[in-house]
Structure 1
Amino acid sequence: MTATDLPEGLAGIAEDFTAMPVPERLQLLLEFSQGLPDLPERYAEHPELLEPVPECQSPIFLLTEVEGAGGDAVVRLYFSAPREAPTTRGFAGILHEGLDGRTAQEILDVPADFTGRLGLAEAVSPLRLRGMAGMLGRIKRQVKEKAGI
């Protein structure tokens, strides 16, 4: 698999994961869970503004902000996930680090098979990977709607 069709941040993350043995991939996923930023106050005080991701086994909510319109609009990502759900938080952390601040078109161009490119299929259940794909799908839908694409 190649990372050339991924935005720079996601490509680097995918390369980091696949370069490691499977047990170390889980450790890296946990590191991403610890790096997920807290919600800004404007959303922490209004959780109803965030969209749930029911594909995830743990409760997670997300929201995109789109600055501008069209493919060049800049996207900001926000997630709310409990600290007791490190796998889910880790997936959110990966998406945040790899996509926050990217353009709408870069996010929409992320291939649907991205979750498989992390090499985590040997380390986490398919149900968990489906949860990450659900997050990405919701992000893309929100970006399309808000950027008017």
Structure 2
Amino acid sequence: MTTDTALPEKLQSIVDLFRSAPKPLRLQALLEYSKKLPPLPDKYAEHPEFMQPVPECASPFFLVTEPKGDGVEMFFKVPEEAPTVRGYAGILAEGLSGASREEILNIPDQFYMDMGLSELITPMRLRGMGAILMRLKNEVRQGDTAQN
């Protein structure tokens, strides 16, 4: 289990919601987050080559971050045909909105295991979720390096 203090407040609220929900509601909530994933801005929709792939993910998954104050703005490209992975991207987008770069870098690598998702999705998809978070952290680190 992760410690509650390691997660940004919004993300902790989402983790708590999933953790306390019965199994069927967890899957439904994950699917709802897939619908909440914001659309890509035109600059990335028209130029996906600017996004970083996450090849460890079974579904085609791309991400990019942009500095925003002391945090980052993040964008994800995930096909609608991959609703569970898209739902995870929606959770990250909402849960990390407004988080500082330091808060993102301090998120436990397997925080999503506290959400009870291992009962809902395959181990391969769970590994993909871990890879997505690692790529996101790498993007944040690279942004920090580029700013210095």
Provide the TM-score with structure 2 as the length reference: 0.93
Specify the SS of the correspondent of 1:121.
helix
Structure 2: gaps (5+ residues): none
| Residue in 2 that maps onto 1:77 | 74
CA distance in 2 between counterparts of 1:120 and 1:66 reads 30
| Residue in 2 that maps onto 1:91 | 88
Specify the SS of the correspondent of 1:54.
coil
Specify the SS of the correspondent of 2:131.
helix
Specify the SS of the correspondent of 1:66.
strand
127, 135, 146: which is aligned to 2:143?
A: 146
Deviation track 1:62-111 (CA, whole Å, cap 9, x = no partner) reads 0011135xxxx221110011111101100100111111321100100101
CA distance in 1 between counterparts of 2:93 and 2:116 reads 18
| Residue in 1 that maps onto 2:125 | 128
Q: CA deviation at 1:56?
A: 1.4
Specify the SS of the correspondent of 1:112.
coil
Q: CA deviation at 1:10?
A: 0.8
CA distance in 2 between counterparts of 1:21 and 1:116 reads 15
Q: Work out whether residues 36 and 92 of structure 1, in 8 Å CA contact, stay in contact via their aligned partners in 2.
A: yes
Q: CA deviation at 1:115?
A: 1.7
134, 137, 145: which is aligned to 2:134?
A: 137
5 Å-filtered alignment, 1:42-81, equals 42-67=43-68, 73-81=70-78
Identity %: 52
What RMSD in Å do the two structures reach over aligned CA positions? 1.3
Structure 1: gaps (5+ residues): none
Q: Does 1:100 align with 2:100?
A: no
Provide the TM-score with structure 1 as the length reference: 0.92
Q: How many residues align?
A: 145
Q: Work out whether residues 3 and 15 of structure 1, in 8 Å CA contact, stay in contact via their aligned partners in 2.
A: no
- Give, as a single letter, the amino acid of the residue that structure 2 aligns with 1:107: I
| Residue in 2 that maps onto 1:12 | 13
Q: CA deviation at 1:58?
A: 0.9
